[in-house]
Structures are given as C-alpha cells and as structure tokens.
Amino acid sequence: MTETIKTDICVIGAGSGGLSVAAGAVQMGMGVVLIERGKMGGDCLNYGCVPSKALLAAGKQAHAMGKGEVFGIKPAVPEIDFAKVHDHVHGVIGAIEPNDSVERFEGLGVNVIKGAARFIDAKTVEADGKRIEARRFVVATGSSAAVPPIPGLESVPYLTNETIFERKEAPEHLLIIGGGPIGMEMAQAHRRLGAEVTVIEAFKVLGKDDPELAAIVVAQLRKEGIAIREGTGIERVEKEGEGVAVLLKGEDGKPGERITGSHLLVAAGRAPNVDGLDLENAGVEFDKRGIKVDARLRTSNKKIFAIGDVTGGLQFTHVAGYHAGIVIRNALFKIPAKADHSNVPWVTYTDPELAHIGLTEEEARGKYGKVEVLRWPLAENDRAQAERRIEGMAKLISDSHGRILGASIVGPNAGELLQPVVLAKANGLKISALASVIAPYPTMTEVSKRAAGSFYTPTLYSAKTRLLVRFLKLFG
C-alpha cells in the first residue's frame, strides 16, 4: 500500500528558498516534509552562484599575476592547470554542501524525500511512492537554462550552467550565446583561464543595467580580448569538425558572419521548473513564465505558495531567501505579509563588478520626469588610486527632495560598496543620510558618500550662500 504522510508544510524543492522555509518552519515546531528530485542545495550551490564565483576567483588570481608592473612587480605568465581549477570549484561546493545536506535537515527534524513530486489533487502530493497530505505547500523548484529556438542547436553538443563546471580542460575557443550576467561572468572567467571567448547577444550586453556603467564593464572585457557581438541574431548553429560554428544573420538577405569555436555555452535566460509537477491537478495557474502568485506569494490555490525563480520574477538566490521569509510570516504566523521587490539589489560579478538597486536613470526619468543624477568617479577616490583601480564610479538617482530612487556602482567589489545605499533606500533614508555618514578613510565606500554629497553642492556654493556668509561676517 502507498504510504500516506500527513504534515503541516510540504516544501517541493531543496534550493535556497525551499531550504530556508523548511529550516525555519521545523525549528518553530511545524511538521515539515521536504521533497527534492536532484541535488540538495539546488541550482545555486551546484550549478550557479557558488561554482561561478569560485571559477571567477580562479580567473582573477590568474589575471593578477600579469598585472603587477605598475606596482614595481615583474609580471608573470600563469601556468593554468584546468583540472585543478575544477578541483578548486568543486572543493568550494563541498565546503558549503554540509549546510544543505539531507543529514543536516533530517537532524533538524525535517522528513526529506528524494524523488520527483507531482500533485494528485489540491491537497496531496506524491513522491517516491509516498503520498503527502499537507495543510500548506510551498513550490520552490527554481529554474533551468532556457534553450532558445535556434535552428541546428539540437544537433550540436552545447554546455549550460549545469554542465560547464564539470570540465577538466579549458575550451580552446568558447562561444557564448547570451550577454547577460551569466554569459559575461563565464566569458571573463574562461578568458582569464586561457580560452578564447566570443559572446553573441541579440540585443545589448548587460541590457538590464544602467548603460553608462555597463559600458565600463564591457570596455574592460573587450580590453582583455573577449570578442563581443551585440545586436545580432543567429541564423543557425552547426557542427564544424570537432567543434561548432555559429552563423550570424546578415543584412539585406546576405550571409552573415560565421564564427567557429571548440565549445558552445548557452546562457540565454532561464525557464521555470514546472514540468512534471501536474499543477493542474491542484488548481494552480501557470504559464511559460512561471507560476502565477499574488503579493503574498500565494498561487490560485491559496493553500499553495510558490517562491523564487519558479514564479518568473527576479531570479536571484537572495530573492528566494526573501520569499521564504514572506511565506513563513503568512503560513505560520497568519500575518498578511506582501513581497516588495522595489529594494532588491543585484550584482554582476565580473571584474569590475556591476551592482544595482532600484531604478536606472532612464527608468527614473520615465517615471518621475525631473530627477537628480549624482556621480562620483573612482578616479577621485584615494583608496582606488592607491590600488590602481580607478575605472568605475558610483551613480545615484534621486528626486528633487533627496529621496533615493536608484543607484548603480561599477568597480572592485561593487556589490559590497552598494550596501550602504541598499540600507538607506530600504529604510526610506534620504540622500542626506549617505552624505552625512562618517566613512573611514581611505576606503572605496566613500564613493557613495561623495556622490550623495554632490546633491548639495549647487546650493552650498551658490551666490545666495556666499552672500549669507558675508552677511554673518559682520557679526564677528
């Protein structure tokens, strides 16, 4: 007979969001069943954030060895053992893995079931020969690499983020379809580790970020020898000996450029993992973009929540973690908490990094009309000069009253440099809060303080202010 398990919460998917819900709920005394058909830790640990940053770190180390001359250090050409780079990447995964393991969660009291889950009806899920009846369900199945409908793609071998970190040899010439964060991070990492790299993007590289700051990143990547083709479609893909060829679309019906490489990486977006869940049986509405949810992250079946990538919104690990907190408040504490994505930051971990929160300049002008654009270049930052890392800037967008609408920073560790702005914006603080903070000297964090301070420069040094100062001098 099929075993039936009754529980308070059933979580489907053991990625960042699902693990956070499971850990939080069980430690608050709820009965929790966690179902995962693949690896514990999900995409972030095994195929995404963790291995990509580990690979980038290896590339950064290799790159630094050839850039010491400005400091009086003779440059060296690194000898790269890609098999050991692979071991480094998987060693990092292994170091973090215990935190997401079956053993840890079973130790917390979670009933972990390894298998594919599918809904039988509105209150029942089946997995690994067991039926789980729960008071609440949380779908946290994440997303996978989307495969674009390019003619010939199905006939050639290609890599995605789920397979590229398994390689123990560097590709001779890596072709990358997609110029978003994943594509550009992998382009720079592989270029610094010895591969030729060509990126092909149908629209604009890093198109979701502020173009003024994205251009600084793109210029650096091109300087390092990465070929970037923007605004061009792909006619077809085909085999080329042991490698692959990409034929770009030409103009006026003429054949386009033909680019050949040894390997192909598809990094053209993500698709929600909804296949096989039989969501229809539970009355859950979804489409190709993901599961439809309300502001409280409830699906059309109010007993079922969906969080993270599978909802089709911002696809970041920290968003999935944030969603987990919203679900905990709704499902456990009956608080009608709503998700607010207006203060979600994101970072592209190229070198230099590109970090952003809120509206871009273009978006802010479109929504508010007149806005204040505040910039401060790293070239005017003493720490950046000391480290010879002056390519970059902080850019803050505010309204005329000093309310922060958005911010972008490009430079070394921009994701860290953005944090004061994230804190200020999320808590409704104005530009004055950033401008008046005492920043330790010399730090690159000063760039956001100095950019904020420039909001007051026109007033502070105006003719009216000078007149006031001269008047006050009359009193001693």
- Domain ranges in the chain are 3-40+101-144+271-331, 153-268, 352-460
| pLDDT at residue 104 greater than cutoff 90 | yes
Residue 156 reports pLDDT greater than 90? yes
Task: Kindly report the CATH class assigned to 3-40+101-144+271-331.
Answer: alpha beta
Assigned token pair, 381: 């930052």
pLDDT band at 245 (very low <50, low <70, confident <90, very high): very high
For residue 464, count CB atoms less than 10 angstroms from its CB and return exposed for 0-12, middle for 13-18, buried for 19 or more: exposed
Residues 6+ apart with CB under 8 A from 192: 59, 60, 62, 63, 224
pLDDT for residue 437 is more than 90: yes
Tally DSSP H helices, then E strands, for the chain: 16, 23
Element (H, E) at 199: strand 196-201
**DSSP letters spanning 117-145:** -EEEETTEEEETTEEEEEEEEEE---EEE
Instruction: Using DSSP bridges, classify how beta strands 290-291 and 173-177 pair: parallel, antiparallel or unpaired.
Output: unpaired
Residue 181 burial by Cβ neighbours in a 10 Å radius (0-12, 13-18, 19+): buried
253 marked ligand binding residue: no
Tokens representing residue 416 in the block: 């860290």
Pairing, β 263-266 against β 173-177: parallel
Question: In the CATH scheme, what is the code of domain 352-460?
Answer: 3.30.390.30
Q: Is 178 annotated as a binding residue?
A: yes
Mean pLDDT score, 231-246: 95
Give the C-alpha separation, 130 to 33, whole Å: 11
Q: Mean pLDDT, to the nearest integer, of 220-229? A: 98
Residue 421 and residue 345: Cα distance in Å, rounded?
A: 10
Q: What is the pLDDT of residue 462?
A: 81
pLDDT value, residue 371: 97
Q: How high is the mean pLDDT of the chain?
A: 96
Supply the pLDDT for residue 464: 86
How confident is the model over 347-353, as a mean pLDDT?
Answer: 98
Which CATH code is given to the segment(s) 153-268? 3.50.50.60
Confirm whether residue 107 is marked as ligand binding: no
Q: Do domains 3-40+101-144+271-331 and 153-268 have the same CATH topology?
A: yes
**Structure tokens that stand for 210 in this block:** 């502020």
Distance CA 302, CA 434 (A): 41
Q: How many angstroms separate the CA atoms of 417 and 352, rounded? A: 12
Six token digits for residue 78: 């690194």
Q: How far is CA 209 from CA 353, 390, 397, in A?
A: 12, 20, 14
d(CA 402, CA 29): 45
pLDDT recorded at residue 148: 95
Cα–Cα nearest to 384, from 439, 451, 443 = 443
Given a cut of 70, whether residue 296 has pLDDT beyond it is yes
From residue 365, alpha-carbon distances to 120, 156, 455 in Å are 49, 45, 17
pLDDT at 340 over 80: yes
Could you read off the pLDDT of 401-418 as tens digits, one per residue?
Answer: 999 999 999 999 999 999
Q: Which two tokens stand for residue 331?
A: 């499902």
Average pLDDT over residues 364-369: 96
Residues in the chain: 476
Contact 177, 264 (CB under 8 A): yes
Using alpha carbons, select from 161, 240, 173, 162 the residue that is nearest to residue 200.
173
For residues 297 and 323, what is the distance between their CA atoms, to the nearest angstrom? 8
254 in a labelled binding site: no
Q: Which position has the token pair 């000078």?
A: 466
Residue 184, annotated ligand binder?
A: yes
Whether residue 295 is predicted with pLDDT greater than 80 in this model: the reply is yes
141 is in an annotated binding site: yes
Task: Give the integer Cα–Cα distance in Å for 446 and 61.
Answer: 26
Is 309 assigned to a binding site? yes
> So what's the pLDDT on residue 207?
95
Who's near 392: CB < 8 A, 6+ residues apart? Answer: 213, 216, 352, 377, 378, 384, 409, 410, 411, 412, 414
Is residue 201 a known part of a binding site?
A: yes
Looking up tokens 């709704």, which residue turns up?
Answer: 330
> Does residue 233 have a known ligand-binding role?
no
CB 245 within 8 A of CB 235: no
What is the per-residue pLDDT for 476? 74
The secondary structure of residue 403, as a DSSP letter, is B
The answer on whether 256 is annotated among ligand-binding residues is no
pLDDT digits 0-9 by tens, 12-69: 999 999 999 999 999 999 999 999 999 999 999 999 999 999 999 999 999 999 999 9
What does the alpha-carbon distance between residue 34 and residue 10 come to, in Å, rounded to a whole number? Answer: 6
Is the peptide bond between 352 and the residue preceding it cis, with omega within 30 degrees of 0? Answer: yes
H/E run at residue 363:
helix 361-368
Mean pLDDT for the stretch of residues 291-301: 98
Does 143 count as an annotated binding residue?
yes
- pLDDT class of 1 with cuts at 50, 70, 90: low
Confidence of residue 467 (pLDDT cuts 50, 70, 90): confident
